Chains A and B, each alone.
Chain A
Amino acid sequence: MEQTTKDHSALAQQFNRDEDRVDWHDETLWWIREKRDKAAHQLPEWESLREAASQIKNNTLSNLHDYLLQFEQNAIANGLQVHWAADAAEHNQIVHRIINEANVVRIVKSKSMLTEECGLNEYLAKRGIEVIDSDLGERIVQLAAEPPSHIVLPCIHKKKEEIGELFHQHLGIEANISDPQFLTETARQHLREIFLTRKLALTGVNFAIAETGEFVVCTNEGNADMGAHLAEVHIASMGIEKIIPERAHLGVFLRLLTRSATGQPITTYSSHFKRPREGKKIHIIIVDNGRTVQLGRKDFRNSLKCIRCAACMNTCPVYRRSGGHSYHTAVAGPIGSILAPNLDMKKYADLPFASTLCGSCSNVCPVKIDIHEQLYKWRQVLVKNGYTPTAKKAGMQLMTWTLSSPGRYHMAGKAGRWVLKNAPFAVNNKLNPWYRQRDMPEAPELSFSEWYKQNKKN
């Protein structure tokens, strides 16, 4: 997958060159946000559910060490093989080792954003292992050699005509087919053959229950189940934050997850994996990859409460109009913008600024992560650590110098208004990003403070 050096703003500008597509993308995701609203409003206890979920996750994060060990102990007792990976590289090595031990070169994988985060597909491809993604959306972006643009709807940026073209090129259907039912059936037949022939399946994990040592995988397509049930070896990859303490807590999250994600009451399949069937193996890989660092950041630790529903993306007015790829990270949108700088501040220094801080993300978050407040706090951290363009820094210093003195402020204001009135060409030009598509405000004769001085006594 293509590495990019462009920042969010430049990539978003590129996306905005096709305004009709921006409108289509915005409206598609807004429709999902509306479905989420309807589903939420059907539950009078919605806000209490969010609060309960938030508190369960807070408890989990505060006792993560103990819950993880409890989970491991119970999982081993159930007959699962448990592996620990400190980072992406170790995770990928463990997966590769298990694949080698199983003596296969082709595997099937259901959706796992963790494996996207770890760059697993590229890693395995370089070692001669073929990975087929079995989630329909992921399969489509895989055929297009693109990363997912959305964590729940990986190919939401693709129109059905483009999907028809991909299937024409890769799956041998006739050209110019865009009927969704036909395309879905094509994918179904194609994937069926994959499920039947792959001996090793990899899945993600939505929830891992400490009390029982079982894990739960949620899908709408049943693809995780098809892969895992037909294979001899099942690898499940999970971030350390996927733990919940007890089975009783699961209901809280299952009720919230898909209502927040797509407006459905529950995922079509919420499958529990507890012990391997006779002659089969289940491996679970528990991955840190920077999460304990984030856990140690007081202001940002609760970002680990995230259950990956993507409600924050669907509601985000910036995401809807810039597309998932503009975030150049596995998890896009508001939540991605507070998770990514933890992994690499330099590379993702632009993301916390890709927001107006409108706060809609925090309001839809089913586990009540204060996303927009963390965006604000990341901005402070990034600036303090020197990840700011020089021009911006100089501009801010000049602004501070002006605004910290009433005399300088009034002089600057007067000068600015004079320029707007008498030399508008100095600001009304293409060097001014405001002016490119917006007119400047009209400069009044008197500022309020000047008017006040003339009209009122203080």
Chain B
Amino acid sequence: MKVGLFVPCYVDQFYPGAAIATLKLLEKLGVEVVYPPKQTCCGQPMANSGFEHLTIGCNELFIKNFEEFEYIVAPSGSCVLHIRDHLHDDKQPEAAKSISNKIYELTAFLTDVLKVKKLSAKFPHRVGIHQSCHGQRGLHISSMTELVAPEFSKPLSLLQMVDGIDLLQLSRKDECCGFGGTFCVTEEAVSVKMGKDRVADHLEHGAEYITGVDMSCLMHMEGILKRQGSKVKVIHIAEILNAG
């Protein structure tokens, strides 16, 4: 199985550890992983700001870089949702559609395609899970508190395979952290308040680490934690699943 690894632009630049862990974890599970070096960004920052019409260049690049793979995997729910819902190219609509169908968020790829049942990871820490909205409500990688439906969580089911991990329960299980792309600067006051409240929920329940499938939410919460002088760290789920 040959998988194309898509590393979101801000992960590439600021959180290479999350991408390295994703690569190593997939390889550990016997997957052949290729990282196309000419990739840039999924185009979401422009599209969510109302400039979807400017994403033509990003869309063309994405198709060119990832067309050949059987599967595309990314350590992000948000970027994957954007590709699934909005990748389009009038010149090659079929290619765009096929990519939308074969791109996976990392944890969903592990549970749904690789059908991972056990992991050799060890992470003896108290950890809070942040449910990133786009993975959860967009890609349905876990059940949502609003709906009357059976409970499940792909990321949680994987974390439960990790040795020594102590997973905490939050008061508000799946509230948004307030990152929201350009929202974090255009609506600075509300964005920060949402972030502070999310972080407080984890701190109140004794978290040493906050994890999740999207580094963007974690980056936002990290910015708040650091400003507060907190020792609590954020960590991408791939780094926990690949730990030890």
Contacts and interface: CB of A to CB of B under 8 A. Distances in A.
Interface of A: 8-9, 12-13, 15-16, 19, 22, 26, 30, 37, 40-41, 43-44, 46-47, 315, 317-318, 321-322, 352-360, 362-364, 376, 379-380, 382-384, 388, 392-393, 396-397, 399-400, 403-406, 409, 413, 416-417, 433-434, 436-444, 446-449, 451-453, 456, 458
B61 A37 contact: no
Given A440-B223, A448-B11, A376 B61 contact: no
Contacts of B156: none
A364 B145 CA distance: 9
A94 B212 CA distance: 56
Nearest to B218: A441
Contacts of B188: 9, 13, 433-434, 436-437
Max count, chain A CB within 10 A of own CB: residue among B20, B53, B54, B56: B54
A317 B35 contact: no
- Which 3 interchain pairs have the tightest Cβ spacing? A404-B57, A438-B223, A356-B180
B148 interface: yes
A315 B11 CA distance: 30
A403 B190 contact: no
Contacts of A448: 7, 11-12, 16, 19-20, 35
Given A40-B148, A322-B190, A438-B192, 8 more contacts: A9-B186, A317-B175, A383-B49, A392-B186, A393-B51, A399-B46, A406-B39, A447-B12
Contact of A413 (B9, B57, B176): B9
Contact of B35 (A9, A379, A439, A456): A456
A355 to B, nearest CB: 7
Given A16-B190, A321-B193, A356 B172 contact: no
Contact of A399 (B13, B45, B192, B222): B45
A107 B84 CA distance: 55
B147 interface: yes
B48 interface: yes
A41 B148 contact: yes
B224 A437 contact: yes
Nearest to A375: B48
B55 interface: yes
A453 B227 contact: no
B172 A30 contact: yes
Contact of A16 (B11, B189, B224): B189
Contact of A317 (B54, B184, B194, B223): B194
12 contacts: A13-B188, A317-B176, A353-B49, A357-B180, A400-B54, A403-B57, A404-B56, A406-B37, A433-B186, A437-B192, A438-B226, A458-B35
A356 B133 CA distance: 9
Given A9-B189, A22-B193, A449-B35, A37 B145 contact: yes
Interface in B169-191: 172, 175-176, 178-181, 183-191
Contact of B195 (A12, A19, A438): A438
Interface residues of B, number: 74
B15 interface: yes
A379 B147 contact: no
Given A379-B50, A403-B41, A439 B190 contact: no
Given A403-B40, A434-B185, A359 B227 contact: no
A318 B187 contact: yes
Contact of A416 (B13, B46, B56, B224): B13
B143 to A, nearest CB: 11
A47 B54 contact: no
B50 A37 contact: no
Interface in B99-114: none
A438 B133 contact: no
Contacts of B181: 356
A434 B15 CA distance: 18
B15 A363 contact: no
Max count, chain B CB within 10 A of own CB: residue among A362, A384, A446, A447: A447
A452 B35 contact: yes
B34 interface: yes
Contact of B137 (A359, A416, A452): A359
